[in-house]
Structure 1
Amino acid sequence: KKRIGLAVSSTFIATPLESILADKPEDVFAKISEIIKEHSVGKIVLGMPLNMDGTESGMTKEVRSFAGEIEKRLQIKVDFADERLTSRDAQSKLALSEKNWRKRKKKIDSAAACLILQNYLDRKK
């Protein structure tokens, strides 16, 4: 099952949230809407899946479409951040703290989302 990793930030520090299953679009948008309200989110940053050479990948169009739906349905600005290697980096960091593979697998998407958001915040300083 596809999962969507989530993270929120204060001004400068990203914090992972529990990931959500991407089974039903209505459930995904409802959960994102809930998080926007709960955490007073002002902008959403989506990881942009690029190829290693920086060109757009096959998933890029899907992410742009998802961003458009978020903006339309939830009336919030969406920005993008390069997500290359974030899953691998998140997996490496989680391996140090979480030895159980099943538990680690559940956390990987949000850990990657946290890295994506933190990189985005660091670039904006």
Structure 2
Amino acid sequence: MDRILGLDLGSKTCGVAISDPLGIIARALTTVRFESDDYETCLEEVLKLCRENKVKNVVLGLPKHMNGDIGIRGEISQDFAQMLEDNGVKVTLWDERLTTVSAEKLLISGDVSRKKRKKVIDQMAAVQILQNYLDRQKNF
């Protein structure tokens, strides 16, 4: 099985996680930083990570409102997914509601300082997105 990237796309950062070769465990990889709303730069970095890690599939967090509606952030994620697909990467959009909150709680329970949490929160959210996806695949 090929490795899969998990992405938590924000307006200035993109948390990146990667699966193990068997598709069982997700781990943090990096945080891509870019100028506000410069998704072209983010795309270039994500495509580079895909090439370096021989990744053909990406799970991209899809932010939704609690009522299930897709807002502006969700539309940006959908556009980014299309940009990835236009470059030959298969994308699965994954409901990411509460993943950042969950990642924050996990880091707090691990006694990670506020300063360090800020540096890794996007990666941890990407891990949550990818791990949820991998767990769901095992159940099918």
Match of 1:21 among 22, 25, 33: 33
Structure 1 stretches of at least 4 aligned residues deviating more than 4 Å after TM superposition:
none
Q: Which residue in 2 is equivalent to 1:39?
A: 53
User: Which structure has the highest helix share of the two?
Assistant: 1
Give the aligned residue type for 1:54.
Answer: G
The match for 2:66 among 44, 49, 52 is: 52
Match of 2:94 among 81, 84, 91: 81
Tell me the percent identity: 36
Secondary structure of 2:82's counterpart equals helix
Contact 1:98 1:104 in 2 (8 A): no
Inter-partner Cα distance in structure 1 for 2:107 and 2:128: 12
> Residues of 2 paired with 1:34 and 1:87: CA distance?
25
Q: In the alignment, is the contact (CA less than 8 A) between 2:39 and 2:80 conserved in 1? A: no
Q: Does 1:105 align with 2:118?
A: yes
Q: 3-state SS of the aligned residue for 1:50?
A: coil
Secondary structure of 2:58's counterpart equals strand
1:53 is displaced (CA, Å) by 2.0
Partner Cα separation in structure 2 for residue 51 and residue 29 of structure 1: 25
Q: What residue is the counterpart of 1:8 in the other structure?
A: 18
CA RMSD of aligned residues (A): 1.5
Q: Which moved more, 1:54-63 or 1:24-33?
A: 24-33
Q: TM-score when scaled to structure 2? A: 0.81
